[in-house]
Amino acid sequence: MKTDLPQSFRRLEYRSPNYTFGQVELDIALDPARTIVKSRLEVLPGKSHEPSAPLILQGQELEFVSLRINGEAHRHFELTPETLSIHSLPNDGKDPFVVEIICICVPEKNTSLMGLYVSNGNFFTQCEAEGFRKITYFLDRPDVMAKFRVTLRAREAEYPVLLANGNLLTTEKLPNGWHSAIWEDPFPKPSYLFALVAGKLECIEETITTSSGARKLLQIWVEPHDLKKTRHAMDSLIASIHWDEKRYGLELDLERFMIVAVSDFNMGAMENKGLNIFNTKYVLAQPETATDVDFANIESVVAHEYFHNWTGNRVTCQDWFQLSLKEGLTVFRDQEFSADQMGSESGRAVKRIEDVRTLRQLQFPEDAGPMAHPIRPDEYQEINNFYTVTVYEKGAEVVRMYQTLLGVNGFRKGMDLYFKRHDGQAVTCDNFLAAMADANERDFSQFKNWYSQAGTPRVKVEERYDAAQKQYHLTLSQSCATSPGQPEKKPFHIPLKVRLLTTANDHVEQLLELKETKQSWTFDNINELPVLSINRHFSAPINLDFAQSEVDLLRLFSNDDDAFNRWESGQKLAMQMILENRLPDVQLINAYRNLLMDPKLDSAFKELALTLPAETYLYEQCACVDPEQIYSSRRAFRRALASGLRLEWAALYQQMQTPDGFKSDAISAGKRALKNLALSMLLEADAPIWSAMAVNQYQNADNMTDRYAALAGLVIHGVKAAKECLDDFYQRFADDPLVVDKWFALQSSRPPVDGAEPTLTDVYRLREHEAFKMNNPNRVRSVIHAFCMANPASFHQADGSGYAFWAEAVLALDPINPQVAARLARALDRWRLFSQPYQGKMHAYLEEVAACKTLSADVREVVSKALGN
């Protein structure tokens, strides 16, 4: 069905602003029902200033009070629900002038969680991408950078802590129980980096010395009862600061750096200059309530937001089409940091595998679907829909390819030049590419195709061995499927690390650069037919079309010295057998056994190697998906693996115990991961026999990783004791929202269990639970998103019941929080990939949602693109 779509914004239509700002002064009197915002804007003519052009400021959900220019009341303006257009400017706007505006917003009614809002009685902001316009009228675009001075006023008894960007200048007691604080940010920034926080909070703080000898104050602010859960986040922040100094020579540039945690937040965290605001999920952790995955995620997200201080704040984006300039680069930086924290090369490999799994399970499907877009989109309707795994994770892979092509030292040279040229500026992806190229005297003109073309390239491998000439011939050809608006693709510049494995083991790794549609290489003095190890360390984000024999894959799985490709070959073997509805044969079982028992291999690597490809990744290998068939085949394969290695799993469960108390280091976490995989496999092999051991682990665990893994095993395998343990879990942790989220998510993500009610029945019940809140994004994600987007076997039912639930949930969420609703709307965007009757049912419910006349722009764009409108 055709719908009227909102305005599209196009990258090539960018114009620099007619006006820009110098100094910005804000005076904000905080009140949940009536916050008064006074702004004083020093307005300057922009580079492309047109005489007599009006000053057009963005504003949403604001009550306009007054306007003054150069101290005088000004009445030549037009007001719409989206803009304040000011006409008749002094000297046609050719000289600087001062605009003063008073307006009012209502934070307590702001359920979108964009702009200024109230959470649990405290004030918070979220301004990226276009939230500042909900606070006051402004040139709300990233290329308008100004220095901010902010005065916050509030009732002291209710809001004793007043925080904003930069450095604290003064505090003052005011009449009638009010007080104020003045903050000044010495660095120009765009409005999306503005932040304020006010409320009853307490902090943990540390003072550190940077490499230049400067003393810096670090603070993490939380609600008082959460203070004991902040130590890991603080340690992660300190480690991030020192790592950035050592790796890139980048030092913390403010007197203080603050993190604030809030439970109502649309995303993971936000890098506001000097005042990062985080979802509590990525700050709060202690062994009793957080898993190893939580600890790792906190370390990664804290690092990510801190690294934005330079890659995003000091150098920011010219426009939102350049979002990957800061996000792709900063994801790469946090990945490298986390890999270094692993402490060993095998640990680095584990981190690399985890990142690639995320890319394949989430980004590859996006690249192949109706929402496919380059890492630098050419067009968007709603910018919030482009905070995607393509912009972030694929963007990080593109940055990683620079390092692969240039080496670590060459990449550092490029980074140094980038900051030298652009510190304090709003720039483009082309500026970053130019810095990398110029610093290393390389031609990266073809590399630009990674920024402008959507889709995952497919590389076909053809090999031929000439025994007489002792030559190995390798031919690679690349292609990329069509994507929305891009019927034809130019060749990519693809770096591929390869090694030829022979019995003599005398061939080193080489870097091949595939630039043409088809290229060939000849390797001399090859004394036997080698086994090709290609795209080592996942050197490029591609799909390989390589009909490698199972014998060769087994050899790579057993012997490849590249840990990523060793894991990869095992995944390929499992994937081929699952899709062909085959069980693991004796050779593969033996290979798994040898890997599990190898004392030289990292425990975390073993756990990853024995974890099967995700259902969603298997979907992408099929021309027509039957979700029930894939689930059944994958489950049968896993059960055979569990039974065939039963003795090994039992032995590992005992060997991987960590009896000396919880430690969050990588080695201990790896042991717990392998132990809990062993427990899950034992339950898979024979749940009645091993369920008592799972119950025992649940009851006696001294950490959330082990307790939750045992509970998950009981729930997933339909063990009778599961209900009693679920009830106990909720009672133990009812006062901890993040743990209750886990309780909700575990039940919503339960795959089908023979003899049990459908998971959807539980999901409907959970939605009526007293602890479920439709206006809390974490809670919504733990129930609705967990079922629709992380439980394919239960969601995809032939009767369409899962899709009916999805449609109901999207329509219920949209008026409350369009961003959260739009992410949920993505659950059906690959509907064309499925067989009937799934495909028809999905299409019908997409049409039902599209027919709603009050859809937000966020949801309408997703649904319309899914339908092809």
Catalogue the active-site residues: 305
User: What separation, in Å, do the N-terminal and C-terminal C-alpha atoms of the chain show?
Assistant: 7
SS3 (DSSP) at 558? helix
In the block, tokens 């036997």 appear at 528
What span, in angstroms and rounded, lies between the C-alpha atoms of 476 and 459?
A: 6
Token pair listed for 795: 């969601």
Could you give the C-alpha distances from 668 to 286, 494, 672, 706, in angstroms and in order? 15, 37, 6, 12
- Bridge pairing between strands 147-155 and 19-29: parallel
What span, in angstroms and rounded, lies between the C-alpha atoms of 842 and 523?
A: 51
Q: Which helix (H) or strand (E) holds 457?
A: none
Q: Torsion-angle region of residue 232: left (phi > 0), alpha (psi -120 to 50) or beta?
A: alpha
Sheet holding 269-270, edge to edge: 202-209, 215-222, 256-262, 275-279, 269-270
Q: Which helix (H) or strand (E) holds 458?
A: strand 458-466
What span, in angstroms and rounded, lies between the C-alpha atoms of 435 and 418?
A: 5
- Check if the beta carbon of residue 518 is closer than 8 Å to that of residue 476: yes
For residue 129, say if its preceding peptide bond is cis, omega within 30 degrees of 0: yes
Q: Which helix (H) or strand (E) holds 853?
A: none
Closest CA to 119 of 199, 212, 230: 199
Backbone angles phi, psi at 83, to 5 degrees: -145, 155
| Residue 189: DSSP 8-state | B
- Check if the beta carbon of residue 128 is closer than 8 Å to that of residue 114: no
The residue length of the chain stands at: 869
Q: Which helix (H) or strand (E) holds 667?
A: helix 666-700
SS3 (DSSP) at 650? helix
Closest CA to 677 of 760, 595, 565: 595
- Check if the beta carbon of residue 811 is closer than 8 Å to that of residue 859: no
